[in-house]
Amino acid sequence: MKETEPVIYPPKQRKNSFDYVSIKKSLKGVLIAGFGVAVMYTLEALPGVDFGKYSPVVAAGCSIILNTIREYLKGEEKCHD
């Protein structure tokens, strides 16, 4: 019989409180948004690139793309046997 490893569950987030899990998730969101803005301003530094009044939309789009890439790359290499 094959021995299985014990399952370790991550800590759960408590409702209506700022516990460790809530603060960690909030800081991740802030970092993703900040990196999105940094990417947008880096793109605007390129010659001939100017987003004008659409800069906030482009910044949001960059943040969404970065978060999508992060979600795609995380996780286990092989989930099922």
Whether residue 36 is contained in a domain is answered as yes
Identify the domain containing residue 57 by its residue range. Answer: 27-73
Tell me how far apart the alpha carbons of residues 39 and 59 are, in angstroms, rounded to a whole number.
Answer: 8
- Per-residue pLDDT, 53: 92
Percent of the chain scoring above 90 in pLDDT: 6
Beta carbons of 59 and 37 less than 8 angstroms apart:
yes
Q: Counting Cβ atoms within 10 Å, is residue 63 exposed (0-12), middle (13-18) or buried (19+)?
A: buried
pLDDT per residue as tens digits for the range 37-64: 898 889 888 888 888 899 889 888 988 9
Mean pLDDT (whole number) for 27-32: 89
Beta carbons of 35 and 70 less than 8 angstroms apart:
no
Whether residue 20 is contained in a domain is answered as no
- Per-residue pLDDT, 23: 84
Whether residue 10 is contained in a domain is answered as no
Amino acid at 37: V
pTM for this prediction:
0.64
Beta carbons of 40 and 48 less than 8 angstroms apart:
no
Per the structure, how many domains does the chain have? Answer: 1
